[in-house]
A and B are shown apart, each in its own frame.
Chain A
Amino acid sequence: AQTVTQSQPEMSVQEAETVTLSCTYDTSESDYYLFWYKQPPSRQMILVIRQEAYKQQNATENRFSVNFQKAAKSFSLKISDSQLGDAAMYFCAYRTPGFKTIFGAGTRLFVKA
């Protein structure tokens, strides 16, 4: 069965610094998608970034980028120039085509002014 593991329940970063959130997953599939979602205190779930497994190039969205290591089944999220508005719960997620999404337990990110 596919699983998603986020080993850091909480992380903290100073404003303007860089932080990396870790995620590993387990699957026997070769074709799948990976996502990071953000949940701010408003509790709305927001898609931050996605990565297709067949693409070797790491996805980037402005200050957010991923380090996708397919062989290691690792999918970390890097947030550069952290801002107060980045404080939130972050969920790593996995899905195969035509199938449901599996979420990790989440990492709560605190941003210090």
Chain B
Amino acid sequence: DADVTQTPRNRITKTGKRIMLECSQTKGHDRMYWYRQDPGLGLRLIYYSFDVKDINKGEISDGYSVSRQAQAKFSLSLESAIPNQTALYFCATSDSDYRPGHSNYGYTFGSGTRLTVV
């Protein structure tokens, strides 16, 4: 099984519909992130969470909400989807920088959710 699992892999939805993207991880990482990828713009941060009780907005949080249900689960919701939210969405995890013995400061990514809003 993948370390970071995103569901669904692909989704087409209609304008105005509510949709939830789910992410679960088996890495035991405290930190989880949601990014969206658009051509020519790279990855932009939507929301991030450093632990279950800590939720923070990223640079493009408008129109999105998140829920950190457990250390291992972090879901992203679009309350009323619009066409310009069509994008590739990634969930990522990372370990705490200050954990003793921590040596890898990179992200572990899920395989992405391709969302199309029509």
Contacts and interface: CB of A to CB of B under 8 A. Distances in A.
A103 B106 contact: no
Contact of B97 (A46, A50, A98): A98
Given A45-B109, A50-B106, A91 B33 contact: no
Interface residues of A, number: 25
B97 A43 contact: no
Interface residues of B, number: 23
A100 B58 CA distance: 9
A9 to B, nearest CB: 7
Given A45-B90, A98-B98, A103 B43 contact: yes
Most buried by A among B40, B41, B107: B107
Contacts of A102: 45
Contacts of B109: 44-46
Interface string A31-49: 0010101000011111100
Given A43-B88, A100-B33, A100-B48, A95 B42 contact: no
B27 to A, nearest CB: 13
Nearest to A36: B106
Contacts of A35: 105-106
Interface string B31-42: 001010000111
Contacts of A37: 106-107
A105 interface: yes
Contacts of B45: 100-102
A47 B40 CA distance: 20
Contacts of A100: 33, 45, 48, 58
B111 A44 contact: yes
A85 interface: no
A9 B39 CA distance: 10
B59 to A, nearest CB: 9
A45 B106 CA distance: 11
Given A43-B114, A47-B106, 12 more contacts: A9-B40, A33-B105, A35-B106, A42-B111, A43-B111, A45-B92, A50-B104, A52-B105, A91-B42, A91-B43, A98-B97, A105-B41
